[in-house]
Amino acid sequence: MKLALPPLTRTHWLLFALFLATAAASGFFAGRFVENARHWSETPQEPIKGWMTLGYLAHAYEVPVADLHQALDLPPEPPDRRPLAEIAEERKLPLDALRLRLEHAIAMARGEVARPPPSNGASEAEP
Amino acid sequence: MSEELVDLVVDHGAIALFGILIANCLGMPFPTSLLLMALGSFVGQGEMELWPLLFAGISGAVIGDQTGYLLGRLGGNLVLHRLTRRPRAARTFDKAEALVWRWGGPGIYFSRWLLSPLGPWVNLATGLTRYPWPRFAIWDFLGLSTWIGLYFGLGLLFSRSVQSLADLTDNLTWMLLFTLLTLLIGWLLLRRLRKEATAKVVTPASDPPPDTEVR
């Protein structure tokens, strides 16, 4: 007694195509997962995103929150709790412009970039 | 989208989280993993209080899921009414119902947090197939508590790396979901081929036609 493989119908091919598509999607997300994990282990520093508040950034980068307020010309008190995207929108600036200023302020607070002399510090804080 | 959600909760507190999770559990594709972990981080920094957020989050998610289940149940009654006139479709529905009843508990639990994109569909499917409500409610509550507790906890624990962690968990979720789908489709294909092959059992007495390929 032998089993005969039935001729492949359109349904078989459709299921096979779906199988390949979902397997490919699975591989794609596995690749991204591995890439994320590798990136996180190599550079554990957070990328600056629009949802982040100045408080969160100060916490993540371990810098004084007042320095970040100063970088955006905001008064340190009361602390600004808005996400960066909202601050950028209010100022009609692209988020990247704020990101550059904050990255510079973070680098200064960590001593990676020399602080400007106190006399003209405010103007030279701009990147 | 993430910035609007974070802004809403920072401005309006727990009540905003309540509303966001109702909409999310009804199928709105909000980036809630990131939101919950960001809130966990804010709690860790002392900017927000944990208990109101936890209570509002679980309550909102439960209401959203229960609404989905109820919609499925109402739809199920309509479907059943129509199926009484179509016996073949009714048999297929009975099979689907048996499948949901068999796998319902773990399906509900894991689709709350590990395979969360399936959540709203599982709510509809369980309601549609008249899965017992008390069992749905218990599995749903357990799954949602795991989801919200786990993501708040991750935010608290990795409070300086919320974005990186959210990227990681999102990709993990989609990877698991597509792997599950791949296995399911592969199983369906194999089962179909095997079933059709068995139906065409060739015995030595019955010679195949000359142009049929026999393996």
Which pLDDT value is given to residue A127?
39
Enumerate the domain spans of chain A. 54-124
State yes or no: pLDDT of A64 exceeds 90: yes
First to last CA, chain B: 56
Is B197's Cβ below 8 Å from some Cβ in A?
Answer: yes
Report pLDDT digits (tens) over B167-187: 999 999 999 999 999 999 999
- Tell me the residue range of the domain where B126 lies: 2-195
Which of helix, strand or coil describes residue A2? Answer: strand
Distance (Å) from the C-alpha of residue A103 to the closest C-alpha of chain B? 16
Is residue B212 domain-resident? no
Residue showing tokens 């065409």: B200
- Output the six-digit token pair for A41: 């282990």
Is B193's Cβ below 8 Å from some Cβ in A?
Answer: yes
Is B164's Cβ below 8 Å from some Cβ in A?
Answer: yes
State yes or no: pLDDT of B61 exceeds 90: yes
State yes or no: pLDDT of B102 exceeds 70: yes
Q: How many CB pairs under 8 A join A and B?
A: 132
Which of helix, strand or coil describes residue B202? Answer: strand
Instruction: State whether B163 and A46 contact (CB < 8 Å).
Output: yes
Closest residue in B to A32 (Cα) is: B171
Q: What ipTM was estimated for this complex?
A: 0.76
- Rounded Cα gap, residues A42 and B101, in angstroms: 46
Closest residue in A to B45 (Cα) is: A59
Are the C-beta atoms of B20 and B8 separated by less than 8 Å? yes
State yes or no: pLDDT of A117 exceeds 70: no
Residue showing tokens 């508990």: B105
Which residues 14-73 on chain A approach chain B with CB closer than 8 angstroms?
Answer: 15-16, 18-19, 22-23, 25-26, 29-30, 32-33, 36-37, 39-40, 44, 46-47, 49-53, 55-56, 59-62
Contacts of A51 in chain B (CB under 8 A): 2-3, 5-6, 34, 38
Contacts of B47 in chain A (CB under 8 A): 55, 81
Q: Which of A32, A110, A43, A1 is nearest to B169 (CA)?
A: A32
- Rounded Cα gap, residues B114 and B202, in angstroms: 46
Contacts of A84 in chain B (CB under 8 A): 3
Which pLDDT value is given to residue A2?
56
- Output the six-digit token pair for B151: 């993501």
Q: Which of B58, B68, B55, B70 is nearest to B27 (CA)?
A: B68
What's at B57, amino acid-wise?
G
Report pLDDT digits (tens) over B71-101: 999 887 777 777 767 777 777 777 777 777 7
State yes or no: pLDDT of A112 exceeds 90: no
Determine the residue among B1, B5, B7, B156 to mutate to test chain A binding: the one whose Cβ has the most chain A Cβ atoms within 10 Å. Answer: B7
pTM of the model as a whole? 0.79
State the average pLDDT for chain B: 86
Question: What's the domain count of chain B?
Answer: 1
Is residue B201 domain-resident? no
Residue A29 has its nearest CB partner, among B178, B185, B203, at B178
Report pLDDT digits (tens) over A70-94: 999 888 888 888 899 999 999 899 9
Residue B2 has its nearest CB partner, among A46, A51, A81, at A51
Distance (Å) from the C-alpha of residue B101 to the closest C-alpha of chain A? 25
CA distances from B36 to B1, B159, B166, B169 (A): 14, 11, 10, 12
